[in-house]
């Protein structure tokens, strides 16, 4: 079992893993060590059959992740920064393609790499005091962990460029209005809201959920025609599962289904 220094990792009785970046004194900033530990945590989420879903959050009530560890990055060369970006992209993509639903519980500032991390989750729930943004241009940089790619996919080209080019953050209400976050809650109710959504998801067929996520991901990365072809193939695959037979039988028998993930 991997031990962690900068994050907390716990799995509850329902199979939900809670991954907490635990550097509140640094506003949970993403150092290279944190990124490596997140990579190990997301590998475990993807590979452990006992884990059915994940919540990612930050320690404390000030920041989810307030950005990169600038003091550390300031000493890196351009080539080292590129390698760091590639590693960060790989880690976030691991969460995004783990095949299991995830929620970013955004408790406060989600800036730079913090917003990029949140956008890699399946959905985002923000506390009322959250502020989200990509301020890299204020440092003479651009986002490196996928911000220029995921942000326009979530909110559209114009809104994404409004945020990316200005570097100014937006509050939780505006993030909800433009579709960057899926819900806004009081800080005290944030993890409860994340667990409540996952509780609904986990009542459904796990293979069907995974295939739906895969179809959306592939369709966004390709064209409409290719996405439709994949959807048809995955629809046929899901129809051949034991879960589909159980789900349709349960519907006709007016009872709750007992899915097995087969």
CB 18, CB 45: distance < 8 Å: no
Catalytic site residue 72?
A: no
Catalytic site residue 13?
A: no
Q: Which of 47, 72, 80, 116 is catalytic?
A: 116
Q: What is the pLDDT along the chain (262 residues), one digit of tens a residue?
A: 568 999 999 999 999 999 999 999 999 999 999 999 999 999 999 999 999 999 999 999 999 999 888 888 888 888 998 999 999 999 999 999 999 999 999 999 999 999 999 999 999 999 999 999 999 999 999 999 999 999 999 999 999 999 999 999 999 999 999 999 999 999 999 999 999 999 999 999 899 999 999 999 988 888 889 989 989 999 898 888 888 888 888 888 888 888 888 8
Model confidence, pTM: 0.94
Q: Decide yes or no: CATH 3.90.226.10 for domain 7-201.
A: yes
Stretch(es) of the chain classified as CATH 1.10.12.10: 206-252
Rounded (10°) CA dihedral 186, 109, 57, 30: -170
Stretch(es) of the chain classified as CATH 3.90.226.10: 7-201
CATH topology of domain 206-252: Lyase 2-enoyl-coa Hydratase; Chain  A, domain 2 (1.10.12)
DSSP single-letter state for residue 68? B
Tokens read off for 146? 């996928």
Quickly tell me which residue has 């990792």 as its tokens. Answer: 9
Q: Which of 136, 174, 189, 253 is catalytic?
A: 136
């Amino acid at each position: 079992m991997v031990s962690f220094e900068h994050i907390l990792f716990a799995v509850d009785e329902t199979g939900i893993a809670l991954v907490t970046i635990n550097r509140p004194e640094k506003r949970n900033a993403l150092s290279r060590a944190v990124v490596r530990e997140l990579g190990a945590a997301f590998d475990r989420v993807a590979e452990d059959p006992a884990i059915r879903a994940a919540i990612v959050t930050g320690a404390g009530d000030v920041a989810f992740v307030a950005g990169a560890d600038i003091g550390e990055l300031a000493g890196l060369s351009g080539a080292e920064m590129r390698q760091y970006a590639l590693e960060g992209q790989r880690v976030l993509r691991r969460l995004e393609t783990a095949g299991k639903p995830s929620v970013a519980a955004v408790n406060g500032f989600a800036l730079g790499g913090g917003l990029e991390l949140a956008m890699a989750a399946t959905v985002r729930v923000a506390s009322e005091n959250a502020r989200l943004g990509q301020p890299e241009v204020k440092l003479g940089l651009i986002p490196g962990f996928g911000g220029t790619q995921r942000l326009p996919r979530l909110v559209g080209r114009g809104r994404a460029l409004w945020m990316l080019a200005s570097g100014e953050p937006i509050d939780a209400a505006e993030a909800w209005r433009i579709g960057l976050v899926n819900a806004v809650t009081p800080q005290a109710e944030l993890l409860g809201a994340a667990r409540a959504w996952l509780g609904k998801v986990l009542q459904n067929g796990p293979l069907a959920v995974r295939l739906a996520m895969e179809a959306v991901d592939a369709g966004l990365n390709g064209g409409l025609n290719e996405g439709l072809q994949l959807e048809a193939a995955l629809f046929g695959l899901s129809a051949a599962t034991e879960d589909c037979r159980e789900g349709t039988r349960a519907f006709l028998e007016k009872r709750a289904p007992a899915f097995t993930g087969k």
